[in-house]
C-alpha cells in the first residue's frame, strides 16, 4: 500500500519563499508528482520527479530523495494567485498508468 503525509495548512507572505514537504511509504515507486488545486477547480500538473535531485521550472522547484521517501515543492516570489492546495502524489510500481495515490493536500494561504 501507499501512505503519503503532508502538512494540512501553511501560511506565507506575498513575495516570500515557501517549502511544502511530503513524505511517503510505498510498496513500489515509479515517480512523484505535484499538483496544484484552486478551490472549486480541478488539480493541475506542476512537476514530476523520478530521480533524486532538484527539478526547477520557473518559480516552482521540486526535490526528491528516494532513499528518505521525501519530496518538497519550493515556491519562490509568492503571488496571491498561488493560494491553493498542493497535492503530492506517488506512482506505484506500474507507473502513472496504474493511477496515482494522492496525499490529502496542503492548503497554502498567501497573505499580503
Nearest to 35 by CA among 67, 1, 14, 60: 60
Out of 105, 106, 108, 110, name the contact with another protein by CB under 8 A: 105
Closest distance to another protein from the beta carbon of 75 (Å): 18
**What's the Cα-to-Cα distance from 80 to each of 68, 73, 77, 83, 87, rounded to whole Å?**
32, 17, 10, 6, 18
**Residue 98 C-beta: closest distance to another protein, Å:** 7
* Binding characters for another protein, 45-84, by CB under 8 A (x = yes): x--x-x----------------------------------
Convert residues 3-32 into a mask of x (bound to another protein by CB under 8 A) and - (unbound). Answer: ---------------------------xx-
Instruction: Report if residue 39 touches another protein, rule: CB under 8 A.
Output: no
Q: Which is nearer to another protein, 43 or 69 (CB)?
A: 43
Q: Which residues bind another protein (CB under 8 A)?
A: 30-31, 33, 41-45, 48, 50, 87, 89, 91, 95-105
Amino acid at each position: 500500500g501507499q501512505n503519503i503525509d503532508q502538512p494540512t495548512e501553511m501560511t506565507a507572505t506575498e513575495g516570500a519563499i515557501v517549502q511544502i514537504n511530503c513524505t511517503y511509504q510505498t510498496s513500489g515507486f515509479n515517480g512523484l508528482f505535484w499538483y496544484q488545486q484552486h478551490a472549486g477547480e480541478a488539480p493541475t500538473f506542476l512537476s514530476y520527479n523520478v530521480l533524486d535531485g532538484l527539478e526547477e521550472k520557473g518559480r516552482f522547484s521540486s526535490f526528491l530523495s528516494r532513499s528518505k521517501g521525501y519530496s518538497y515543492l519550493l515556491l519562490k516570489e509568492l503571488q496571491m494567485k498561488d493560494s491553493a492546495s498542493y497535492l503530492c502524489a506517488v506512482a506505484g510500481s506500474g507507473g502513472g498508468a496504474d493511477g496515482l495515490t494522492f496525499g490529502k493536500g496542503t492548503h497554502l494561504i498567501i497573505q499580503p
